[in-house]
Structure 1
Amino acid sequence: MHSNQQNVALVTGSAKRLGRKMIETLHHAGYRVIIHCHQSIDAANALAKRLNQKRPNSAKVVSANLLEPQQIKALAAASLACFNRIDVLVNNASSFYPTPIATASQANWHDLVGSNVQAPYFLSQALVPELTKHNGVIINMVDIHADKPLQEYSIYCMAKAALKMMTKSLARELAPTVRVNGIAPGAILWPSEGAPALAEHEKAAILQQIPLNRLGDPTDIAQTLLFLVQAPYITGQIIAVDGGRSLGGANKA
């Protein structure tokens, strides 16, 4: 592949956790990658440095607050300037926390709807002309709770349900040139530092709901992403990567 012909993938929220694994997997598969972050700039730069040591000029970092509409257009332009092309957009950045109806605020709404629906929509809009040039792909990180609500997470679940419909709507609207699919993770990683830790009995209760009886791994999500990016006849689909959790029902003891 001539260096200018190498495909380029932008993954939002990709300095850490699931996003980082997606970046590493795409890079390993030969993609040039654009790591987007908001506050995790040190982690993003360290990841880019590591990938560029493996393959020079193959990873770049862009920073933007996805809740600011002006910054979304700037992010699209900055991302395009990295390698002068974009073939894959992964809308991964997402806020996630409970919002009990009694205490939910406008600020919670702005953050959860902003990160999970508004930013993916307007970033997709900004990059559609470029993606169209290259028969590109948009992958949205949905959630199994877009269908089955998680107790006290109404705003988050509503936002993910909207993202699921966006995936299907844009798959129709952007066909046949741009494919749009989604991935719905189940329980992959326990909450990160800074989030409330789960007690052991809470973890056990979650595992009880998973037929495969174990947490997934970020690799499970990243491999599904790679499959969807390279599956030319799949569009408008959301694949649950959840160990069977969305089938419902607890395991037999």
Structure 2
Amino acid sequence: MELDGRVVVVTGGTRGVGAGIARSFLAAGARVVVCARRPPDEPVAAGDRTACFLPLDLRDPAAVAEFFAHVADRYGRLDCLVNNAGGTPYRLLGEGEAERHARVVALNLTAPMTASLAARPFLREARGSIVMIGSVSGTRPSPGTAAYGAAKAGLENLARSMAVEWAPEVRVNTLVPGMVRTELSHLHYGDESGIAAVGATVPLGRLAEPSDVGGAAVFLASDRAAYVSGASLLLHGGGERPAFLDAATANQT
């Protein structure tokens, strides 16, 4: 899965899952550009290789177009776009106006589409690929993050349509992670015992690490996935144990 000389853009690649993805591409030999509205607290690096940071507001289509033209001009090519930027606060549907929920959809669905359209001419020239970072929230009910779940479901469908429309020059796939341990996990799950308890609900017994997501993204961008397009790869450690199994009494002693 060597990606020597290839150029990769990771949106939202300055922390958490995005930084893990960027580090995995660096370790695979790629030249990596990470973008976000704010610079990282420390450089995103793997060994002696460091990602280039460029500021970008993905909600500004003109800035996005200028960004990708600059990357292609600076590096001479663009081989992969990883649409990772996104996120949402916890907010029940009835606790916010439609406009607030629409902003979540814009960040998690419209922004990746904007970036993909801007990157397409350069990816087509390199016969490159796009990796969308989805979420299991888009495959099941997502109470408290309904707009986010809807956007991620839409992102997965968008990727399938892109894969058909832009073939054979550009491959498009989606990674669908479950729970991932990042520097912000304590805000969601509590202290180490809380994180361990949540991890114990996963069949593989732990939360994913950012490097797990990064390794899968590197595979989808590599020549080993040359015939993989329009696919969704679940990365959730086996999923969730069905609640009815815990409620059932027939086989309990």
Normalising TM by the smaller chain, what interval? 0.7 to 0.9
- For 1:42 and 1:217, locate their aligned partners in 2 and report how far apart those are by CA, in whole Å: 19
Length-normalised TM-score, structure 1? 0.85
Equivalent residue, structure 2, for 1:30? 29
Q: CA distance change for structure 1 residues 77 and 234 in 2, over 3 Å: closer, same or farther?
A: same
Equivalent residue, structure 2, for 1:9? 8
Equivalent residue, structure 1, for 2:172? 180
The equivalences for 1:32-111 within 5 A come to 32-39=31-38, 41-43=39-41, 46-47=43-44, 50=45, 54-55=48-49, 59-111=51-103
Say how many residue pairs are matched: 241
Residue identity in the other structure for 2:161: S
- For 1:111 and 1:82, locate their aligned partners in 2 and report how far apart those are by CA, in whole Å: 32
Structure of greater relative contact order (alpha carbons < 8 Å, 6+ residues apart): 2
Equivalent residue, structure 1, for 2:227? 233
- Structure 1 residues 16-69: Cα deviation after superposition (integer angstroms, max 9, x where no partner): 111111111111111111111212x1436x22xx56x825xx742211111223
Structure 1 stretches of at least 4 aligned residues deviating more than 3 Å after TM superposition? 199-209, 246-253
- For 1:111 and 1:196, locate their aligned partners in 2 and report how far apart those are by CA, in whole Å: 22
Listed as ranges, the gaps of 5+ residues in structure 2 are: 247-251
Q: Is the 8 A contact 1:67 1:111 kept in 2?
A: no
- For 1:226 and 1:250, locate their aligned partners in 2 and report how far apart those are by CA, in whole Å: 36
Q: Is the 8 A contact 1:34 1:82 kept in 2?
A: no
SS of the residue 1:245 aligns to = coil
Equivalent residue, structure 2, for 1:211? 203
Q: CA distance change for structure 1 residues 208 and 8 in 2, over 3 Å: closer, same or farther?
A: same
CA RMSD of aligned residues (A): 2.6
- For 2:244 and 2:67, locate their aligned partners in 1 and report how far apart those are by CA, in whole Å: 43
- For 1:106 and 1:85, locate their aligned partners in 2 and report how far apart those are by CA, in whole Å: 40
Length-normalised TM-score, structure 2? 0.85
Q: Is the 8 A contact 1:11 1:92 kept in 2?
A: yes
